[in-house]
A and B are shown apart, each in its own frame.
Chain A
Amino acid sequence: QAARGSGSGGAAAREARQQQGSFGELLLRMRGLPAALPTLPLELTVLYNSLLFTMGASDSAIEGEAEGIRQGLLRVLEACGACGQDLSTEELWQKVLQEVTAEELQAPLHRLGGLQAAWWLAAHRLGSTAGLFHLLSNAGDSGRACCTEGENELLSLLKAWRVPAEEASLPLVQRTEDLKGILCTAAAFLQGLQELEAGNFPAAFSLLQEAAGGFCSKRVLAQIYTCLSCCAQRMGKPQTALQHLKRALQVDFQCLPALSHAAAVYHELGETDAELQALALLYEALEKNPPAAASSSPYFLIRTELLVHTPLLATLLRHCHPSEVKYLLAQRCLQDGRVADAVEHYLDFLALLQEGLQQQVPLDGSSALPRIPEVFLEAASALEQAGRHQDAITMCEEVISRTTDLIPRMLRVEERLEQMECPSPGAGLAGGLLSQKKERLCCLAWRAAGYLHQGWAWAMLGESKEAVTQFSRGLGDLLRVQLYGSGVEPKENLLPEVEVLQKIRLLSLIGRGTQFLELGRHKEALLDFQHGLQISPGDPAAASYLVQALWKLDRKQEAAAHWQKFSQSPPGEDGQQEGRQGRPFPLYLASCLKQAVFPHSESLARSIQDYLGTRSRD
């Protein structure tokens, strides 16, 4: 009867599945007989091997499969004349380990216990696992106190577990020693991730280090190093983080998340060169071999990666999409003023988009990509800064034409934040309305920004009339928004969208004003600048232009008075890039902000001072 299966270890997945089938068959036959102590070691060993194949053939430890272990324990009890049908698996283990004293059964039971621990670990039932190992270590040598203070209980229990030696007559498809090693690594890894999630970084760090010293595959080791680096980064140790990322890549270059983390660390350190290089490398690697599906090692049936599955790990190891990386490259170049590179990357990114939005852009929430019109506007901004004005105009035309049907004829918006964010109890509908309004505001902002860019581009090309037309169109669109609320008091809680809109309006007004100046229509220019100052009192560019316009209109006294007023008032925070509440303005406005800066402040100041000088002499 003792048809014995000694499965060969080095089997491909298909063979493993076959083996699983035949082990299952064998087990069925053995269970067809009444349980008897002499045959139980063999039966439990067959069960162990069969479960190993089950796990090896699946991609993760499935809870249902652990039913086999329960069956095995019930058989043990049956042979001993006890029963435990209605006990939970934990209680069953307790009963079996405490009541069954047959020496021959200890080794197979311990092995099975190891497997049970694997299943429990995979299900994050650390308490059950620790309880089981308490039982297992007590069964062997009862006197030993396992847990020393400060050390991780589960890990020390696992390490203290004395693995039964393999018997020649009962061959195993995977050594229990290996199982123990895998359990230790998985337990440390899992707990490290839990601590990381809970924010206990030093504890997480030491647990993850423990895991990194354990038995695992290259892939898992690289993952552990990546997690270590995340932990170090959150502890404020970027250099340590970098070292761990380096190790991760040394171990397994396919661990591409490590590269994107490296880019993030460099970003944090402000090392733009290194960051861009890392991103470029990542993009190249992604392009060459798209993240392959987990190629499992055929040698081991039970592996660490089967046991460690947490949402946090999935987030940490999220595979970047090539398009995201491309965008990040473009954005970082633009932010850093590497305009030529930025243009290249933006165009590459848009080409990627052409190939198909669905395939190129991950649509889950964790994507680093902004809304596509913003990318277009950023690209236009880059093109403009690179001096490719005509291309910038085309790019903006795209945004404008796409948003034509989306913007409302008229939109009434509360200026203030509170009113909008604290809707009346009928929250759902109001929330929907709010988001719809916000969406419309966004569309409007994009469209207006498109005109703004076009205006500046025409201006750069020397086509002042065309530029004025574009600026005016933008301003016309902006008039569709009716802001209400008390406009008097300091606008502190402005909606971010509203703030952006106001900035665009200001920039458009300044832009149009400068073009009017170019055309010699000084009065209209003056009006625009005055409007601008109304929107944003104290804006240095608008103020300077206003002074210049007055000067050109030969209203020198007024100009001087204004100039004195502005130069005396404390220079508004230099942060032109930031809004009133410290929010940065969208990247696509950066170039316009730069263009709007008054260029001749020195000469204007000189001439006004001269004027004032002569007047005072007079």
Chain B
Amino acid sequence: MLLGEPEQFLSYNGEVLLFYLSKTKHVEEAADKTMNLCVRRMAFNRDTKLFVQKSSGVFKMHASHLKIEIICCSCTMDSRTGIILPCILMKKKQRNNVVKYLLLLLHSSNQFEQSFHFQLDYELKEDIRLFTGPSVLWRHANKLFYISSDTCTVQSAPVQLSSIVWTGEIEDEGTVVLGVKTACLPESEDEDEFPTSDRAIWGSEFFGYAIETQKMLTGTCFMPHAYSRVVSSVYVCKNEMLKKQLRISLVAITVKNQLVWFQDGLPKGVCELPYEKPCSVKTAVTSSNDLLFIVSFASGNVGVVQRRDSLQVASKWQKVKSVLVDDFIGSGSEQLLLLFKDDSNTDMLSTFKITDLGPVSYASGINYKHDASAAEGLQENGLLTVQALETRLQAGCTSVRELQQHLGLKKRVILESCRALIDLVEERSHILPTAKEEGLVSLWDDVENPPHSLSKETSLASKVPEHFIEKLWQRVVGDSLVVGVKLAESFYLSLSDVSLSLVMDQDFSSISPIIECRNKIMKLNKAFSALSVSSCEIEPPQKKMKLDLHSKNDLKKEFPKRCSRVQLDGAKTVIAVTSLSPLLAFHRVCCIVLLHAKKQKRRNDSLQESKKITVLCGKILLSLEDISNGKYSVKMLRDNSYCTGSMEDILAVLAVSLRFSFQIVSSDCTLTPINSWLLGEMECTPFKECHDNIFCHKAGNVYGTVFNWTLKNPFEGVLTLFCRNLTVLFQCLHSLFGVLPPSCDVKLLRSGSKGVLTEQLALALEKEMLALRSSFFSKESKAENSLTWGSEPSKKIIDAPVASLLDSEEGVQQFRKKLQNEQQESVLSMNQTVNGALYQETALKVVEAQLSSDMIVWRLS
């Protein structure tokens, strides 16, 4: 018997069926006219661990062996009996390019039955499937054809398709073909814009076609259309109708070398396949109840993917001729049968392996290279384990370090105790180490160098000004009229409680001539060239080390410096803001601008006497024409990287705006993102006149907001916003919060910066304490003059060396006695009377002091 070249393997009922063609040996028959289709049933013998032939069968056909071919074989259901039988599709070439196809069924008696035959004028090549009936289905020229034993005529489906990825039974639908076709787009999709639906993006879609009912099914319950371009084969694991909805779970293999698990049309898991070009996928349920996906590759490799927590490649083999799934060893669950290519051995089923990746494993005649894999999965597991171990190691390390620290501490305590004990024995007094010895001492003082410009200021102050009002101006911002008076600085310094008032010049008898307005005093720092000298150039003078912290002189010296910095440069402007529209009712208005202030006269050095003064600053004229012509409007222009606007314009905008200050503290990162936010996202530019303030050019509601961002150090700064209304504030803050580093703390400053307020609070508290003390002292001194308590009022127990007293019992007794004396004294002193006037005075002083400190606390909180 000669072996036909192509063999076909099929597993059926735990047996392996081998189909092959052979010529008959018998000479009397026309050898070249008859071909035999042979089948051999092979069963696995668990004792010999080999496949043995159980039976065989032959089917004779009249044709030359060159013209006859096995196309495919499969197990399908015979619709007459409902029994699943092996089914073989044969091809027989005839003359005139006509091809005859035969469909054979193999019965258990090894008899072949010809189910039906049909003739075509072309050859079947693409996507040939056998299914229930038995029926045959194929694709030709982008059309789907099928024929079954019932009809015996070739039918076609009304659909243009590019490939078939699956054929099988679907509940309630019968046999369904899952194919891919070119997407037919609805006309409405705009060509210019990017399409948004999957089918439009990838240009193809899935469709389902039920053969029996000749009905189209939607493809989306299988897979998203996006996959239609890549999926090459599909295996439907489960399908059921739930609430009239088809629920399908399936695995698909793609040309991107992935195995994707879909459930209800959505991808649930992905696994990279170990080889290129996967061509088919099937499943197996093994004894350990694992669901395995067996992927065959065009190169003859086989990979098995296991589904546990995620999809993982469990094993892979190379040079595999065929892989079959069935219960070959009769254990009740399925195994894989891998048939390896083996050129040396001609005997069929000699080199094989039966495995379920679990306990079952038989192999024969293999000197195979089994890629001891699963390594990839293992590697990942290993990685996770290492990570976990690392974490534990770190935790362990930390606790060890803590223990060490703890031990160190204990050792120090013990050492200290030892020293104390030694001292006790040697009758020395033990001195505890001071806090300085124990803790950290600052190396450097925090005193900053005063800026150089300060020294100039003092000389200017003494000069008597000739023109104390430098300028009077007016602006219209929104619905407000802003009137400003710029005062010479020297003049301003001699004033306190400055305010402006506007009085109408004309006589309108019906209304009061005085216009209600809000007053503000503003000062802008002039533009300074940013850091003219790099600190790299100049070596700073050697700083004197201040090692003893006890000298308080330095602190005192520092304080006035800091105060004076507040009054640094820039003329002050007094500004009055009033509502414009009531004034416009008069069409033309002339207003007198008056400045009120208290002028201080210096007498001696400390005592000051103030006198109220009123100065006429000038007149302003308002008319609707001027306002309409924009004569007084604020002009802010963007000029390269600066914002140009006169000082008056800036002052007017600031005066009208609401002012909010936020202290921003970052615990970890530097605050540079705020600067880039201001200059970038908010499109701010600094004013040419004063670089501190920057103007927001961003179109929309926030336009015109002025910011001031001052950094105290890289991690702390104050952001001041001048905005038109609260909505703008919230908009800005919302935008800011998107930018801030996450570890930032933002706090609204009610007034003044935190540092200044804290200083003020300290001063106020000190004042309060002094007030209390001084009043009590005055009281006590008065009282002491009149009365003396006890025999020895000057001796306080606190002064006595307590330690020496406590050494012995007598000492303690003595101590107790003294204590009792003191107690009596204090009880006596409690019952002192005080004269009413003195009490009143004291109480008033104290309450005043408390009030001021409470105020600061409120502002600080």
**Interface of A toward B, CB cutoff 8 Å:** 1, 9-10, 14, 17, 25, 28-29, 31-34, 36-39, 104, 163, 175, 177-178, 181, 202, 205-206, 209, 212-218, 221, 237, 239-240, 242-243, 246, 249-251, 262, 271, 273-274, 277-278, 281, 284-285, 287-290, 293, 297, 299-300
Contact = CB atoms under 8 A, between A and B. Distances in A.
A163 B680 CA distance: 10
B542 interface: yes
Interface of B: 194-196, 198, 201-202, 224, 226-227, 229-230, 254, 256, 258, 260, 266-267, 270, 272, 310, 387, 391, 394, 401, 404-405, 408, 440-441, 443-444, 534-536, 539-543, 545, 547, 668-670, 672-673, 676-677, 680, 713-715, 738-739, 741-743
Nearest to B259: A32
Nearest to A269: B542
A60 B194 CA distance: 39
From B196, B404, B444, B670, name the one whose CB has the most chain A CB atoms within 10 angstroms: B670
A277 B443 contact: yes
Given A277-B443, A287-B408, 20 more contacts: A33-B202, A33-B256, A34-B256, A36-B201, A37-B194, A38-B195, A104-B194, A175-B738, A177-B739, A178-B741, A214-B672, A217-B668, A239-B540, A239-B542, A262-B443, A293-B394, A297-B669, A297-B743, A299-B743, A300-B669
Contact of B672 (A181, A202, A277): A181
12 contacts: A28-B270, A32-B227, A32-B230, A34-B202, A38-B195, A212-B714, A216-B670, A221-B670, A239-B543, A240-B540, A293-B394, A299-B743
B127 to A, nearest CB: 21
A221 B715 CA distance: 10
Given A34-B229, A243-B540, A29 B670 contact: no
Contacts of A287: 408
Given A221-B714, A300-B669, A33 B230 contact: yes
A180 to B, nearest CB: 8
B545 A36 contact: no
Contact of A181 (B270, B541, B547, B676): B676
Contact of A240 (B202, B260, B444, B539): B539
Contact of A274 (B194, B387, B443, B714): B443
B630 to A, nearest CB: 35
A221 B670 CA distance: 8
Contacts of A239: 539-543
A22 to B, nearest CB: 11
Contacts of A202: 536
B387 A290 contact: no
Contact of A177 (B443, B668, B673): B673
Nearest to B401: A290
Contacts of B444: 246
A274 B224 contact: no
Majority-rule SS of A interface residues: helix
A287 B224 CA distance: 63
B817 to A, nearest CB: 44
B194 A284 contact: no
Contacts of B669: 215-218, 297, 299-300
Contacts of B224: 1
Task: Across the A-B interface, give the 7 residue pairs with the lowest CB-CB distance, nearest first.
Answer: A299-B742, A215-B672, A38-B194, A32-B258, A237-B539, A36-B201, A28-B270
Given A1-B198, A32-B260, A246-B444, A240 B535 contact: yes
Given A274-B443, A281-B443, A284-B440, A213 B672 contact: yes
Contacts of B391: 14
Contacts of A163: 680
A218 B272 contact: no
Given A1-B198, A178-B673, A205 B226 contact: no
A287 B196 CA distance: 64
A33 B739 contact: no
A239 B544 CA distance: 11
Contacts of A34: 202, 229-230, 256
Contacts of B742: 9-10, 299
A108 B856 CA distance: 51
B270 A25 contact: yes
B683 to A, nearest CB: 12
Contact of B547 (A38, A177, A206, A273): A273
Contacts of B542: 239
Contact of A32 (B254, B441, B743): B254
Nearest to B538: A240
A262 B442 CA distance: 13
Given A177-B680, A281-B441, A28 B258 contact: yes
Given A28-B272, A216-B669, A237-B539, A36 B202 contact: yes
From B227, B443, B543, name the one whose CB has the most chain A CB atoms within 10 angstroms: B443
B492 to A, nearest CB: 36
A213 B675 CA distance: 11
B446 to A, nearest CB: 9
A163 to B, nearest CB: 8
A285 B540 contact: no
B221 to A, nearest CB: 15
Contact of B739 (A175, A240, A246): A175
Contacts of B741: 178, 299-300
Given A281-B443, A285-B440, A297-B743, A32 B256 contact: yes
B536 A205 contact: yes
Nearest to B666: A218
A499 B310 CA distance: 74
A197 to B, nearest CB: 18
